[in-house]
Amino acid sequence: KGKVYYLNFKPEAADQWTALAKEYTKEKGVEVKVQTAASGTYEQTLKSEIAKTEAPTLFQVNGPVGYQNWKKYTADMSNTDVYKELANQDVALKDGDKVVGVPYVMETYGLIYNKDILNKYFALDGAKATSMDEIDNFDTLKAVADDMQARKDELGIKGAFTSAGFDSSSDWRFKTHLANLPLYYEFKDDNVTEQPAKIKGTYLPNYKKIFDLYIADSTTDPTQLSAKTGDDANSEFALGEAAFYQNGTWAWTDLQKAGMKAESVGMMPIYTGVKGEEKQGLATGSENYWCINDKASDADKKATEDFLSWVITSDTGKKAISQDMGFTTPFKTFDDVKFDNPLTEAAVEDQKSGKTQVSWNFTMMPSEEWKNKVGQALLEYAQGTGKWDAVKTAFVDGWASEYEASH
């Protein structure tokens, strides 16, 4: 019999994985060891573990860029149940015809909105839209947000959007997640499928449009943004001080803790004024891909495939993943699972809607340094201490120089 050794990436699910491994051993008599890397140390831990004789048989990469480091350790997963059970096989990580990684948690982000505030707005005389269905492009979103901002006293809000804070607990929403949209459209136009050495910045005017809207129709004066945190935005939204909040499925736990009711919350795509965006869906992707160690023995590889198959098909495994760990998964076997997260429900509906999901391309961003420079330029622009040109420079020239530095 082979055995399984999983090097887990998510510290928040460490206990749940350990419990699941014990359960599997009890049921099948196969040894499963789980080790969890401390937050932010996964790559180093994997480097030292993979060199040992008892190396992990199952590990993780975060996407195309992370894959480059572990290329020679990834087995082809095209015959595994986890690959065959994907609802959409396009989400797998591929290298030519070889399936090198299978995502096990999908996350989705967009504009979270407060249904109660919007319904109150739709009922006003002269409202720029009368239902959420009408807000399916940037121009309508802007007309609605501008009007809400002008009538904020009537609506009892402080602004249409929550604060676009640039403290490190919040800035990733703009320098990474929002920055994904111009990249997504550019890469789509140019058929880019792997990290390019340089980019053009074709859709930066669209990035500017939505960012301008965030800071103009906000709860917060632009000069205050440098100190605003993720908690600030969360609490402004939960307290009903703003109608829109850019974030993702993972934000529900905090919103619920702050007293929000599931029926008050929805999520819509982030529109930036691109032609045909009425058919654009939410941004859905993964930074969590399972890879099987190709250097493990055949028996261990087989044991690892069987373990993964059990995790996504058995009631025990499905409950652990969806309820105990709270993950949204890409597998067909989870179709009967009910979520108590309204943002996950919105994501699942969006995936079935026939709209085109925006893929996650920020996994191709050349470095943390690139994001930080874009973030710095965005903040200076927002505060009025810098020009938009500096954002363009950080985005386009910064990409080329960061790419060169890492290659």
Concatenated DSSP letters for 322-341?
Answer: IIIS-----BGGGTT---S-
Instruction: Judge whether residue 40 has pLDDT over 80.
Output: no
Instruction: Judge whether residue 261 has pLDDT over 90.
Output: yes
Q: Percent of the chain, pLDDT > 70?
A: 100
For the chain, give the mean pLDDT. 95
pLDDT of residue 196: 95
pTM here is 0.84
pLDDT of residue 17: 97
Rounded distance between C-alpha atoms, residue 150 and residue 129, angstroms: 15
pLDDT of residue 225: 94
Q: Residue 38: which pLDDT band, with cuts at 50, 70 and 90?
A: confident
pLDDT of residue 131: 98
* pLDDT tens-digit readout, 345-367: 999 889 888 899 999 999 889 98
Instruction: Judge whether residue 111 has pLDDT over 80.
Output: yes
pLDDT of residue 231: 94
pLDDT of residue 176: 95
pLDDT of residue 155: 98
Q: Residue 328: which pLDDT band, with cuts at 50, 70 and 90?
A: confident
* pLDDT tens-digit readout, 47-66: 999 999 999 999 999 888 88
- The SS3 call for residue 109 is strand
pLDDT of residue 325: 87
pLDDT of residue 363: 84
For 47, residues 6+ apart whose C-beta sits below 8 A from its C-beta are none
pLDDT of residue 66: 86
Instruction: Judge whether residue 407 has pLDDT over 90.
Output: no
Angle at alpha carbon of residue 111, lines to 105 and 112, rounded to 5°: 80
Residue type at position 254? D
- Residue 97 corresponds to which tokens in the numbers above? 């015809």
pLDDT of residue 158: 98
Please give the C-alpha separations between residue 27 and each of 107, 177, 204, 223, 316, in angstroms, as whole numbers: 31, 41, 54, 59, 11
